[in-house]
A and B are shown apart, each in its own frame.
Chain A
Amino acid sequence: MSRWPRSLSQRLALMFALASAVLLGAICIYLYQSLAREIAWRDDQALLGRIERMRALIDESADLETLRRRPRLYDNMLGNRDSLLWILDDAGQVRIAVGPAGFNVPPLPPSDGRTALRTVEGTPSLRLAWTRVAGSEGRLTLIAGRLLAEREQMLAAYRVRLGLALALGAVLAYLLGLAIAVRGLRPVRELAARAAAIDVRHLSQRLDDGASRELDALRAALNGMLARLEAGFAQLARFSEDLAHEMRTPLGNLMGQTQQALSRARSAEDYQNLLVSNQEEYERLARMIDSMLFLARTEQTAAALVREPVALQELGDQLCEYFEGLAEERGMQLLNTAHGMLVADRELLRRALANLLANALRYGAPGTTITLSSAVSAEGIEIVVHNFGPAIGAEHLPHLFERFYRCDPSRQGAGESGGLGLAIVRSIMQLHGGDVHAESGAEGTRFVLTFPLDTKFMVDSS
Chain B
Amino acid sequence: MTILIVEDEEKTADYLRKGLQEAGYPVQVASTGHEGRQLIAQEHYELVVLDVMLPGVDGWELLRLLRRSSGTPVMFLTARDAIEDRVKGLELGADDYLVKPFSYAEFLARVRTLLRRGGVRESERLQVADLELDLLRRRVTRAGGRVELTNKEFALLHLLLGREGEVLSRTTIASQVWQMNFDSDTNVVDVAIRRLRAKIDDPHPVKLIHTVRGVGYVLEARA
A residues in contact (CB < 8 Å) with B? 272, 275-276, 278-280, 282, 286-287, 289-290, 293, 304, 318, 321-326, 329, 347, 350-351, 354-355, 358, 361, 415-418, 421
- Is the Cβ of A321 less than 8 Å from the Cβ of B101? no
Q: Of all chain A residues, which has the CB nearest B81?
A: A293
Smallest CB separation, B212 vs chain A (Å):
10
Whether A276 contacts B214 in the complex (CB less than 8 A), given A321-B178, A347-B181, A358-B184, comes out as yes
- In the complex, B152 has a CB within 8 A of chain A: yes
Which residue of A272, A289, A323, A416 contacts B188 across the interface (Cβ within 8 Å)?
Answer: A323
Structural contact, A287 and B192, CB atoms closer than 8 A: no
Taking A272-B213, A286-B101, A354-B180 as contacts, is the C-beta distance between A321 and B188 under 8 angstroms?
Answer: no
Q: Which of A289, A325, A354 has the most CB of B within 10 A?
A: A325
* Contact A323 B183, beta carbon cutoff 8 Å: no
Report B194 CB to chain A, min CB distance, Å: 8
A358 touches B185 (CB 8 A): yes
Q: Enumerate the 7 nearest inter-chain pairs by beta-carbon distance, A residue then B residue, closest first.
A: A279-B214, A325-B191, A276-B214, A322-B178, A417-B185, A276-B213, A416-B185
- For residue B195, CB closer than 8 A to chain A, the reply is yes
Given A286-B101, A326-B187, A355-B184, A318–B179 Cβ distance below 8 Å? yes
Taking a contact as CB atoms closer than 8 A, the residue among A275, A326, A351 that contacts B182 in the complex is: A351
Residue of A nearest to B177 (CB): A322
User: Which residue of B is nearest A361, CB measured?
Assistant: B186
Chain B residues with CB under 8 Å of A275's CB are 214
A326 touches B180 (CB 8 A): no
Whether the pair B185, A415 counts as a contact (CB closer than 8 A) is yes
> For the complex, what is the distance from the CA of A287 to the CA of B151, rounded to whole Å?
29
Q: Smallest CB–CB gap between B109 and chain A, Å?
A: 17
Q: How many residues of B contact A (CB 8 A)?
A: 24
| A325-B179 Cα distance, complex, nearest whole Å | 16
For window 142-198 of B, CB contacts with A under 8 Å fall at 151-152, 174, 178-188, 191-192, 194-195
Residues of B within 8 A of A276 (CB): 213-214
Bound together, the chains give a CA A358 to CA B81 distance in angstroms of: 26
**CB nearest neighbor in A for B152:** A321
Complex contacts, A280 vs chain B, CB 8 Å? 214
Given contacts A304-B83, A326-B191, A416-B185, 7 further A-B contacts (CB under 8 A): A276-B213, A279-B213, A321-B151, A322-B152, A322-B188, A325-B194, A329-B191
Q: What residues of chain A lie closer than 8 Å to B101, measured between beta carbons?
A: 282, 286, 289
Docked complex Cα distance between A325 and B178 (Å): 13
Residue in contact with B186 in the complex, picked from A279, A321, A415, A418, CB distance below 8 Å: A415
